[in-house]
Amino acid sequence: MSETPSIFSRIIAGEVPADIVYDSERVIAFKDINPQAPVHLLVVPKTEEYANVAELAAGDPALLAEIVTTAQKLAFEHMNGQYRLIFNTGRDAGQTVYHVHAHVLGGGLSEGSLAS
């Protein structure tokens, strides 16, 4: 974990505005400010303890399951249940915030479209 709070922790704390679409005790979801698809949501755990999905899977598999379940719930609400779920791990894979998060994309994606 970084000594400086991530942008996601600042959103969770209410320090940075976001278009929040879901909020529970352990998970928050909001619209991506730089969408890569017609619908692009981020599902973020409220802990900064894990930088990537592998760390999360090893450290708290129940929280990972909650993120995936939340993504599916949001997909049914916003994308007729059809979605792409992406976890970026590492700079070369497009990860820019080292606070694990899932990209939930939908709304008319083509086979070649990706999230950064």
Domain assignment present for 116: no
Domain at 78, CATH number: 3.30.428.10
The per-residue pLDDT for range 68-116, each reduced to its tens digit, is: 999 999 999 999 999 999 999 999 999 999 999 999 999 877 666 554 4
> Which pLDDT value is given to residue 74?
98
What is the pTM (predicted TM-score) of this model?
0.91
> Which residues are the active-site residues?
101
Domain assignment present for 1: no
Domain assignment present for 113: no
Domain assignment present for 12: yes
More confident residue, 74 or 1: 74
Domain carrying residue 95: 7-106
Q: Which residues lie across from 40 on neighbouring strands?
A: 105
Annotate 70-79 with b (16+ C-beta within 10 A) or e (fewer).
bbeebbeebb
Asked whether residue 15 carries a pLDDT value surpassing 80, the answer given is: yes
